[in-house]
Amino acid sequence: MAIPRPQSSQSPSSRLEGILADTDRIEELSDSDGDYEDMGTATEEEQANIAYLESVRIPIQDQLQTDSSKVQNETLQAVLPFLEGNPNDFPLNIFGIPQLQRMKHIAFLKQTLGDYPSAFAMMDASRPWLVYWSLQGMSVLGHDISEYRERVAHTFSLAQHPTGGHGGGYGQLPHLAATYAAVLSIVMVGGAEAYESINRKTMWHYLGQMKQADGGFTMADGGEEDIRGAFCALVIMSLLHIPLELPPDAPARKSGLTSFTDGLGEWISKCQSFDGGMSAAPGNEAHGAYAFCGLGCLSIIGPPKETLNKYLDMMTLIHWLSARQCSPEGGYNGRTNKLVDGCYSHWVGGCWSILEAAIDGQDIWNRSALSRYILSAAQAKKGGLIDKPGKRADAYHTCYNLAGLSAAQHKYVYEADVQTELGGGELDAPYYWKAEGLFEDERVWGSDDVVGEVHPIFVVPFKAVHECRSYFDSKEGF
């Protein structure tokens, strides 16, 4: 389960799979045995890939068979043909790795912004997510999304609740996850009309209702308090330049809190688990998506070097995150003893730039292995990206595989002394990030496989981030 948990116990992507008949969906390759037998002699590229996989295979295996070890073995068998060869018959780049199927992915994402069959009515509460994933995916692929500007402004002005924040669909109660995705969609399409569709004053009051006496945030009125709430609230506040002072009607004021950031770093600190990872709430199991939310939130409160080192145990965190990268698959899993999944290319892969900024480190993770997994095993034959071979493409996995690929290809650095006209002091730390060219060592992608720059905290294009914040910086009051 990752951050975009809608108001239901199932993830949108798993529900998408459940409700779509095979005929409605882009066909996915079968992962059954035998499909790749009798393929003839291995090509030169395949021999090189096989040699690579052998070199990174973990030689020691526990002989004890468990449900987890069985499903891990099955997963490896499903993934390996894609890492060794080229079952999708994609054109290969100069490194013998499948090229990024840019045009197919753009076409797939255009579809995900189109009409849906009636069975999708149950996904209505996730509408902002479908829009965000699709637009962000298209942006990072270099597609101009300005044609969606009016639709986005219109959709989210109707999904905005009179008391502040956005619901998943029209007439629905506000929810921080829906509000986060709606705001990011608006930020991406940009323009005064879209920005002005947001009522920042009611948003301030709504966020004030979410702030809790212990420093954290709930996802909805009376809903669960977790680290997604803290991250989503801070993202919204920073981009829209919402005042840091709690509104007079915020319940947390009764406990003596006056600012949105009161007790927040301390609360996030309690979400670090015994094994070094980050969990949804104090005492829970560590999870990759919550790690990104925690690191992202701390990096909005202040410079990562300050806040991460102050509130987190960095060595165990780095150890836990490193252990999420599966070998020989190269992609990430989200939790200990779980399976590789393309969406963690971002949830875990996206943590590294933030960590590197906090420890002045460089290249402390294996970018090549992740890129190899994304390009070889996570591209669906007919477009869109996937969790793992055998799964169907969806906008969620497309968005986050591509964000992970961007993190692997680009160097994102935090420059405390960079000149920024943005911020005016409040929650301005995210505006010191810049993209500093491409990672060149041991790369496995060709120049046609390079995706766009993605802001490491907001996960939308840099340009959109800067335009939005400068728009609201220039406004006096609400």
- Please give the positions annotated as active site: 287, 335, 338, 341, 343-344, 387, 394, 397
Helix (H, G, I), strand (E, B) or coil at 337: coil
**Residues whose CB is less than 8 angstroms from the CB of residue 227 and which lie 6 or more positions away in sequence, other chains included:** 216, 268, 271, 278, 279, 280, 281, 290, 293, 294, 297
Taking the complex as a whole, how short is the minimal distance between the CB of residue 129 and Zn ion, in angstroms?
Answer: 13
Taking the complex as a whole, how short is the minimal distance between the CB of residue 400 and Zn ion, in angstroms?
Answer: 7
Q: Which residue in the set 387, 394, 428, 453 belongs to the binding site for Zn ion (CB under 5 A)?
A: 387
Name which of 341 and 356 has its Cβ closer to Zn ion. Answer: 341
- Name 379's bridge partners: 385
Name which of 168 and 288 has its Cβ closer to Zn ion. Answer: 288
Residue 198: what are its φ and ψ, rounded to 5°? -90, 125
Q: Which of these ranges, 126-134, 153-161, 381-389, 458-466, lies near Zn ion under the rule CB under 5 A?
A: 381-389
Distance in angstroms (rounded) separating the CA atoms of residues 250 and 204: 10
Taking the complex as a whole, how short is the minimal distance between the CB of residue 341 and Zn ion, in angstroms?
Answer: 4
Say if residues 128 and 168 touch (Cβ distance below 8 Å): yes
Name which of 203 and 343 has its Cβ closer to Zn ion. Answer: 343
Distance in angstroms (rounded) separating the CA atoms of residues 229 and 180: 9
Site string for Zn ion, 311-350 (x = CB under 5 A): ------------------------------x-x-------
Taking the complex as a whole, how short is the minimal distance between the CB of residue 374 and Zn ion, in angstroms?
Answer: 13
Residue 451 token pair:
């995706």
Residue 293 token pair:
């939310």
Name which of 216 and 334 has its Cβ closer to Zn ion. Answer: 334
Distance in angstroms (rounded) separating the CA atoms of residues 192 and 279: 37
Say if residue 328 is preceded by a cis peptide, omega within 30 of 0: yes
Name which of 166 and 392 has its Cβ closer to Zn ion. Answer: 392
Binding footprint of Zn ion, residue count (CB under 5 A) = 3
Burial (Cβ within 10 Å: 0-12, 13-18, ≥19) of residue 14: middle
Taking the complex as a whole, how short is the minimal distance between the CB of residue 201 and Zn ion, in angstroms?
Answer: 37
Say if residues 469 and 425 touch (Cβ distance below 8 Å): no
Distance in angstroms (rounded) separating the CA atoms of residues 99 and 302: 38
For residue 71, CA distances in Å to 22, 344, 366 come to 24, 18, 24
Name which of 250 and 405 has its Cβ closer to Zn ion. Answer: 405
Q: Which of these ranges, 40-48, 286-294, 323-331, 383-391, lies near Zn ion under the rule CB under 5 A?
A: 383-391
Closest residue by beta carbon to Zn ion: 343
Taking the complex as a whole, how short is the minimal distance between the CB of residue 17 and Zn ion, in angstroms?
Answer: 11
Q: Which residues bind Zn ion (CB under 5 A)?
A: 341, 343, 387
